[in-house]
Structure 1
Amino acid sequence: MKTFISAVLLCLSASIANAAGIKFAQILADAGGPALKAIVWTPCSEPAQEVPIGPYVLKGRRDCPTAGEKLPLIVISHGYGGSYLGHRDLAETLADAGFVVAAINHPGDTFSDMTRADDMSVFVERPTDIKRLIDYMLSAAPDAARIDPQRIGFFGFSRGGYTGLVLAGGNPDFPHADITCPDPRAPICKQVRSGEVSTDHLTHDARIKAFVLADPFNAFPTAESLKNVQAPVQLWASQFGGAGVLPRNADALARTLPRKPEYHIVSDAAHFAFLAPCPAAMKSNEPGLCVDANGFDRTTFHEQFDEMALTFFQTNLR
C-alpha cells in the first residue's frame, strides 16, 4: 500500500501545479427547500495564498478566475452538525488537480444551525439539498459553462455518506437498520419507532457517476434497500467508528452493495479521523473532534486518503 501511494504521489506531483480558487455562493430558497450556503473550490492558475476563514486557514486564492473547460464536478456532504469546511483538504486536492468542488451547510443539521439535527426530516431533505446544489452548479453558478455535466462525483462523511447512498438509488429502512439510539426520548428515536416520517419519496440523482463514502451512516439493512445503487463506490471505514456509526456497519454495507466497492479499513482510526486535520487552537477547544487516540497520525493519513480519493474520481469520471 505504501509503495502504491508513493507512486501515485510521484505521478501526480508533475501534473498538479494550480492553486485552488475559493468562492462563496448563496443558493436561493425555492420550492425544493431553504437557502443553502455553499463554498466552491476551482482550478486556478495563480499561486496559492493563505486564506483565513473562521478558525481555519485554507490554501488557495479568493475569487480566482477558473482555469479550464469541461471540468468534472465533485459535491460534498458533511456529517452531523458539520460544515462545508470539514473536508477542505480534500476539496483543495481535487481543485488543484482540475476538479470543481462544491460543498454546502445542510440547513438544520450544521454547526451554526442544529434546529432539526435530531429530527427525521433532515434525512429526507439532505439528498434534496445536494440535488439543488448540483442544479445550481450546472445552471446559475458563474462557472456553470465550464462544468461537464457528464462527470459528476460525490463525497460524503457519516450522515453525508447516507446522503450519497440515497442519491445513488438507495432506499433506507430505518426501523430495521442496525443503528443505535442512545437517548430513546430524542425526537428521531420516537419517529423511527412510530414510522412517523415517510422515506418513500427520497431524492435520487443519476447525474452522479461515482461516490466516495467515509464511515457512512448505514440505514440500508438489506440487498433490497440497495439494489438500485449501481455506480462505483470507494468505501472507507474507521476501525473503531463512533458518533452512532458502528465498526460493523461498513462491513455490512460492503457485503450488501450490489456492486463490490473499493473498500478500505483505516487501522487505529476512529470516526472523526476523516475530518480534515484541525488547527492547534481547535485541538485545545474541540479535542473530541480533533485529537486522535492510539497514536493515529491524522495529517499523514489525509495525505494518503485525499490522493486515493482523487485517483478514484479520476478513474471513474473519465
Structure 2
Amino acid sequence: MVSGRFRRLLALAVLGTAAGLASAATGLTVLPAPPDSGPVTVFYPTSTVAASKLQRGPFSIDATLNAAPLRGNGHLVVMSHGSGGSPWPQADLAQTLVNAGFTVAMPEHAGDNWHDMRDVGPATWKHRPKEVSQAIDAMAADARFAPLLDFQHVGVYGMSAGGLTALTLAGARWSPAGLSKHCDAHLTEDFPTCVGLLTELNGGPFDPLKRTIATWIIHFKFADDTAMQGWDEPRIKAAVASVPMAAPVDMASLAQPRIPLGLVRAGKDGWLAPPWHVDAVRAACKGCTLVADMPDGGHGSILSPQPPDLPARAAKLLNDPPGFDRGALPGVYAAITAFFVKNLAP
C-alpha cells in the first residue's frame, strides 16, 4: 500500500532539491569503526558520476567511491541492518533516499553482521541503539559531512532486528524476559523468532523434542533478564521500522511514541510472523503510520539487491514467497523516503 499522497510528497522533495542535485549521483565512503562497533558505510549525494559499478562481494553498486559530497536536502538517515546483515542488500533503498537529497549512514552492528554473528539476539539488540548514536557522532565529526547536515533532525530506518532498533529509538521499551514470555505462549506459531536458523519444525517425530529443548534454552538464557531496555537519542526525529522484531516489546511503551513512527509490513513474513510483531505494534500504536504494506511479501522482500546463494534454511525465510512482485519495491522505497521528507523538516 503506497498512497498517492506519499508519492506527491516525494515528488515535492525531489523538486525542492533539484537546484542542488540537478547532476547528482551517489557517492560511497566508509568511516572508521567507533568503539565497540563496526565501520559506518555512507551513501550520499555527489556530482561525480561513477564510471563503472562498484563490486562488493556478489553485489554491484552504482556509486562513486570517496567522491566529494553535496549538501542535498541537509538531512541524515541512519539505517540499521537485520541479523547477519551488511549495507549492500539495502543499497537500492539507500540510493532512493540519496536521490531525494538524503545522506544515509549504515553502521555495521558488532557481533551481528555478515562475518560475525557471535552476539545475535538480545545481546546485540541492547547495543544497537548506541551504535546508531555513534554513527551520528561519527558523521558530525567528519569534515566532509559536518558542514552539510542538520544533526538535530535525523531519521532512523531499521529492518528486522534493525526494526527493533528503530522502535527502541522511537520510545519502545523491551526485555529479554519479554521474548521468553512470548515464546512460552507462541513457540509453535512463531518458532523462527524463538530459535532463528538453528532448526525448524517440519511435522516430524522430533518436533516435540525441538520445542522442549528450545523452551529450556530460552528460559535458561532470558527468563530472568527482566531489565527493561531503551535508549534516548534526542537527535532522532523520525523512525521507520520495517518487518520489525517486536515480540520482546512492552507494547504499552509504544502507545504514544516520542516521534513519528512508520511501519513496513510483509503479509507473508515467515520469520517474524506479523500477528506478534508488526501487527502487534500497529494495534498498540494508534498514531503510527503504515508506510507500506506488501501483502505477498516475505521477510526479506524489502531487501534489494537480494542476497544470493543463501543457506537453505535462510533462503526459505528470506527469499520472496510465490506471487511477490519485486516491481512494487520502487513504490515502497518512495513511500519510506516520503515519510522522512515529511517528518524531518525542522
TM-score, normalising length from structure 1? 0.85
Is 1:78 aligned to residue 87 of structure 2? Answer: no
What is the aligned counterpart of 1:301 among 328, 335, 342?
Answer: 328
Q: Aligned-residue CA RMSD in angstroms?
A: 2.9
Is 1:184 aligned to residue 232 of structure 2? Answer: no
Distance change in 2, residues 1:199/1:206 (3 Å): farther
Q: Is the 8 A contact 2:45 2:70 kept in 1?
A: yes
What is the aligned counterpart of 1:273 among 274, 298, 301?
Answer: 301
Is 1:25 aligned to residue 31 of structure 2? Answer: yes
The aligned residue for residue 107 of structure 2 is 104
For 1:106-121, list aligned pairs within 5 A.
106-118=109-121, 120-121=122-123
The aligned residue for residue 204 of structure 1 is 232
Stretches of structure 2 that go unaligned for 5 or more consecutive residues are: 184-189, 196-212
TM-score, normalising length from structure 2? 0.79
Q: Deviations over 1:269-317 (max 9, x none)?
A: 11110111327x648997447642222122x122111111111111111
Q: Which has the larger radius of gyration?
A: 2
Question: Residues of 2 paired with 1:56 and 1:186: CA distance?
Answer: 40
The letter for the 1-side match of 2:290 is: E
Q: Is the 8 A contact 1:237 1:250 kept in 2?
A: yes
Relative contact order (alpha carbons < 8 A, sep ≥ 6): 1 or 2 greater? 2
Q: What is the CA distance between 1:80 and its match in structure 2? A: 1.2
Question: Residues of 1 paired with 2:170 and 2:117: CA distance?
Answer: 26
SS of 1:269 mapped into structure 2: coil
What is the aligned counterpart of 1:225 among 233, 253, 257?
Answer: 253
Q: Is the 8 A contact 2:274 2:280 kept in 1?
A: no
Q: What is the CA distance between 1:13 and its match in structure 2? A: 7.2
The letter for the 2-side match of 1:316 is: N
Question: Residues of 1 paired with 2:236 and 2:71: CA distance?
Answer: 21
The aligned residue for residue 155 of structure 1 is 157
SS of 2:306 mapped into structure 1: coil
What is the aligned counterpart of 1:90 among 88, 93, 97?
Answer: 93
The letter for the 2-side match of 1:92 is: Q
Q: Is the 8 A contact 1:137 1:143 kept in 2?
A: yes
The aligned residue for residue 63 of structure 2 is 60
Q: Is the 8 A contact 2:82 2:158 kept in 1?
A: yes
The letter for the 1-side match of 2:150 is: D
Q: Is the 8 A contact 1:75 1:130 kept in 2?
A: yes
